[in-house]
Amino acid sequence: MTTRPTPPIAAFAPAAALLGGGALILHYALHLDYGLRSGGILWDAMQTPLGRTDALVFNLAFGLIDVALLGLAARLAVKAPRLARTGAGFAALALAACAVGLVSFQMGSMVPFVMPTATLAMFVGALLLGIGALRSRALPRGVGVALVLFALFTAPLAFACEALGAWAGWPPYVGFEVHFVAAGAAWLYVGRRLTSPRLWLRLASA
């Protein structure tokens, strides 16, 4: 019986998930720091040095998560081939759109709709791969659950946090982008589970 070689990108999934999750949390920290110092929202000052740094961090976070999704798709290719291929396609689209968004922003001319495309494609890819992970049991169940929750609830959580902040009387900068802390924590969890030696032994023998 021959063993199907694992694509090299699969090895980058744990590190990409950890770094991407950390970058999402750093993204919120930069917004909160700016708000505490100025009382404003950093997205209204994206041409400042801090704003440009945040744009880099945010795009880097999305790009790393897309790489993690591609790595997960490679791990699911044997036991959930259809969902893995489709999820990888959306992750690749998200990664390409994210790269275009970063380059265009740094050049001072943002391409319309590129980041919404990157975001939507990332969520669809995460949902498909999460379903694939849960159905195939090729990855820990918690990884599949985290992917599905990330895909389905990150956007609604954004509206919920802003509504909660308005109801509680928080300054606008407190609730703005705070949902990315939960999203970042989800990816830190995914990365941590993927670094399990037991998991790597199981995947190597699959």
Whether residue 2 is contained in a domain is answered as: no
**pLDDT value for 196:** 65
Whether residue 3 is contained in a domain is answered as: no
Q: Which structural domain, as residue segments, surrounds residue 200?
A: 8-204
Question: What residues have CB less than 8 Å from 80, skipping those under 6 apart?
Answer: 132, 133, 135, 136, 138
Question: How do the pLDDT tens digits run along the chain, 206 residues long?
Answer: 344 556 778 888 999 999 999 999 999 999 999 999 998 888 888 888 998 899 899 999 999 999 999 999 999 998 999 999 999 999 999 999 999 988 888 777 777 789 899 999 999 999 999 999 999 998 999 999 999 999 999 999 999 998 998 898 888 888 888 999 999 999 999 999 998 655 545 544 44
Scan for tokens 């670094």, then name that residue.
195
Split into its structural domains, the chain has a count of: 1
Whether residue 1 is contained in a domain is answered as: no
**pLDDT value for 166:** 86
**pLDDT value for 2:** 43
**CA 107 from centre of chain:** 24
